[in-house]
Amino acid sequence: MIKKEAVVKCSTGLHARPATLLVKKASSFKSDIYLEYKDKKANIKSLIGVLSLGVTKDSPVTVIASGDDETLATEEIAKLIESIEE
């Protein structure tokens, strides 16, 4: 299992469009990938799960992956979270 911190820079936080981008990216990996925010954890491959976290702008989140491609998954997802800006 690998963990990586990221900061949400999107002005709307992780709402509909950014969350959809994350789900699509996460679904391309074999590993189980989760997003942790304020003691809540959700599967990044689930749009409802990501939206239910209510992540806002400038919030620190933790990407957690476990599986065959966990290193690549955490790097790519964290990079995507920090690159999405609206």
pLDDT in tens, the chain (86 residues): 999 999 999 999 999 999 999 999 999 999 999 999 999 999 999 999 999 999 999 999 999 999 999 999 999 999 999 999 87
Q: In what order do the strands lie in the sheet with 60-66?
A: 2-7, 60-66, 32-37, 40-43
- Active-site positions read 15
Spacing of C-alpha 77 from chain mean position: 6
CA dihedral 59, 64, 47, 42 (to 10 degrees): -80
Please give the structure tokens belonging to residue 10: 């999107």
* Reported pTM: 0.94
Euclidean distance between CA atoms 38 and 25, whole angstroms? 23
Considering only the top CATH level, what class is 2-83? alpha beta
